[in-house]
Amino acid sequence: MDKLSENASDDFLGNSSDDKKAAYVSLKGVGHKYDPSPDTPMVVQNIDLDIHRHEFVAVVGPSGCGKSTLLRMVAGLLIPSHGDVSVFNLPVTEPRDDVGIVFQKANLLPWLTVRKNVLFPLKHKYGSYSANDEKRANELLEMAGLTQFADKMPDELSGGMQQRVGIIRALLLNPDILLMDEPFSALDALTREQIGFDLLDIWKEHPKTVLFITHSITEAVLLSDRILVMSKRPGTVLDMIDVDLPRPRSQKTINSPRFAELTDLIRGYIYEPNTPA
C-alpha cells in the first residue's frame, strides 16, 4: 500500500483561486490556561487568526508570549481551554495527518542514518515503509542537497544540514500545513539566512500553508505574507501586518526601504517604551 496516497487533500481541494481566499486554518477567540482555576493566568487570550491556503504566516512576539502554544493548538497537540481552532472548517480535536511540524532543534534520532530519519514518520506511524517511500525520501534528500549525506549519522552533519533534514522529514507525508516552531533559532546568522531562502524555494515549488513561529523580526518580514505580532504574556494580538514585499525575495529585499519600514513597525510593538526588555 502506498501510504502517501492517504494525503489526497491536494486533489480533493484542487487549486482553484476560491480556496486561496477562504480561511484554511482558523482560530476564533482562542485562549488557554493550563489549569482551570481562576487564579491561573492565561497563556494566550482572544486570538483571532485566519490563514489562507498556501499562505505563509509568521508569528512574532517576546519570549514566553505563547507563540509556541499557538502552534501546538493548530497541531492538535494542545486543545485550547477557550475558543475554537479549525482546519478547513473542521474543529481540531487531535493531531491531523496533513500537518508537518519542524521543531526548534532538528530533533533527529541519533541512532538512525539521515535517510532513516527522513523516513521515520512512516516507520513510526505505520511500522514500515515501501520502496516507493524510500524513493520519495531520496527525492526529498536531493531537493535539500543532502544526497551524499543520506547514509551518514546526524552528528556528522552541521547544524544547518540537520535542520534541513528536520524540514524534509516534516515534508515526507506531504502535509498541506507546515508548522515551524522557531526552526532556525539554533543556527548561526549566515546559515540562518541561507536556509530561509531555501525554505522559500521549497515553499514555492511545493505550496504549503505555513505557520512560522520566530523571535527574529527580520526573518519574519523576509519570509512571510503576513505577520501576527503578539504581546507579552498573556499573549494577545497586537497587530496583523501585511508584508507587501514582492516575491521572489532575495538579498535585495533586505536592503529595500519598505523592508526597513516593516521591521521598524514591528520593533515599535515589541519594544514598547514602558516595557523594559
State the residues that interact with other proteins by CB under 8 A: 72, 75-77, 94-95, 97, 99, 101, 103-105, 107, 109-111, 120-121, 123-125, 127, 153, 155
**125 versus 258: smaller Cβ distance to other proteins:** 125
Least distance between other proteins and beta carbon 107 (Å): 5
**77 versus 150: smaller Cβ distance to other proteins:** 77
**124 versus 255: smaller Cβ distance to other proteins:** 124
Least distance between other proteins and beta carbon 259 (Å): 32
CA distance 113 to 153: 5
Q: Buried b vs exposed e over 5-24: b needs ≥16 C-beta within 10 Å?
A: eeeebeeeeeeeeeeeeebb
Least distance between other proteins and beta carbon 126 (Å): 9
Per the document, the length of the chain is: 277
Least distance between other proteins and beta carbon 195 (Å): 18
**46 versus 104: smaller Cβ distance to other proteins:** 104
Asked if 207 and 55 touch (Cβ cutoff 8 Å), the reply is no
Least distance between other proteins and beta carbon 78 (Å): 10
Q: Residue 172 has which C-alpha cell? A: 515526507
Which distant-in-sequence residues (6+ apart) come within 8 Å of 273 by Cβ?
Answer: none
**127 versus 276: smaller Cβ distance to other proteins:** 127
Establish how many alpha carbons lie within 13 A of residue 6's alpha carbon, considering only the half-sphere containing its beta carbon.
15
Asked if 221 and 242 touch (Cβ cutoff 8 Å), the reply is no
**113 versus 218: smaller Cβ distance to other proteins:** 113
Least distance between other proteins and beta carbon 95 (Å): 4
In terms of Cα–Cα distance, which of 220, 208, 207, 148 is closest to 178? 208
**101 versus 146: smaller Cβ distance to other proteins:** 101
Q: Which amino acid is at 215?
A: H
Paired residues of 241 in beta bridges = 227
Q: Buried b vs exposed e over 147-166: b needs ≥16 C-beta within 10 Å?
A: eebbeebbeebebbbbbbbb
- Residue linked to cell 521572489: 248
What distance, in Å, lies between the first and last C-alpha atoms of the chain?
54
To the nearest 10 degrees (0 to 180), the angle between helices 114-126 and 159-171 is: 30
Least distance between other proteins and beta carbon 175 (Å): 10
